[in-house]
Amino acid sequence: MSALHERKRIEIPHSPLLSECPIYVRGFIPLLCMSELQQINAYTYYTKEIEMDKQIVYERTDAAYGQIFLNRPEKRNAISVRMIEELSHCLAAAKDDHIKFLLIRTTGGRIFSAGGDLNDFHGNLSEKEAFTLLTKMKNILFDIATFPVPTICLLNGDALGGGCELATACDFRIAKDTAKFGFIQTNLKIIPAWGGGALLYKKVHPTFAYQWIIEGNIFDAPTLKANGWLHNVIASSDWEDEEVLLGNYLNKTEMQCKLLKEQYIKSIQPKDLMEKMTEEVVNCAQLWNTKEHQEIVDQFFARKKGHQYT
């Protein structure tokens, strides 16, 4: 069972520090007292429900692999500035862990990610502001692409726009058979914003990458497996079966995974990749505050009157 659903109880020694803490979770954990509890070597009542307040969650499993969860299902896992910051912290934590491979997945829902949250990535940014903001997520994607162990994206549902860019940054993509995917940025009068287009050219045939981006099509899972973007398509009935999803990876050692990933990183020429991703962000920033893009964004907000996603 995933640690996200486990609850572990350990006795908390009595301490006057506990009575001084104003914030509790279900009457057990004083959130503002963690450092004091550690100082007195006190054990705490611990539950992953606390981490579920985060938009990004990281854990290391008993099977020695790491998992980063997108945890904003009520907003279709649209990537916010806060999520970018939490992704950065989680990637750093995962990098320091002893893991065979790293999964990028969601905590649930029917959408993997609908892209960037337009409340942060709105159309009124200047070219310079857009470049600065887009660069933050580009750096996250580059860190995933060059992560020291294999990265696997588990696509439980649809991914659009930036959601596809995030998935493309991973080494392998495994999708539920009902999911659909689209590099739809050109329909919004921009281009891939986080360097995901440059990554796509590395992952599939350049002609298919070019066509997918310029046409802005949405494809089903079997089509994308046939074109090499997806590595495996799993029936919905088998989606919760870890052996079906990850069997070919679970029986590898950490050293094997690290050595193979090191070889792969050399093959994708990371310095050249970073230059191409940065160039794409520069080009996208030039389109960001154009009249055409702003009109598309305004239309989204006018229709939904709330959170919108690219």
pLDDT at position 302, please? 84
Helix 127-145 vs helix 270-288: crossing angle, to nearest 10: 150
Alpha-helical runs (H) found in the chain: 16-19, 34-39, 81-96, 127-145, 162-169, 196-203, 206-215, 221-226, 242-250, 254-267, 270-288, 291-304
Q: Round to whole Å and give the CA distance between 227 and 231.
A: 10
pLDDT tens digits in sequence order for the chain, 310 residues long = 444 444 333 333 333 333 333 322 222 223 333 333 333 233 222 234 435 589 999 999 999 999 999 999 999 999 999 999 999 999 999 999 999 999 999 998 899 999 999 889 887 899 999 999 999 999 999 999 999 999 999 999 999 999 999 999 999 999 999 999 999 999 999 999 999 999 999 999 999 999 999 999 999 999 999 999 999 999 999 999 999 999 999 999 999 999 999 999 999 999 999 999 999 999 999 999 999 999 998 888 888 765 444 4
pTM: predicted TM-score of the whole model, two decimal places:
0.83
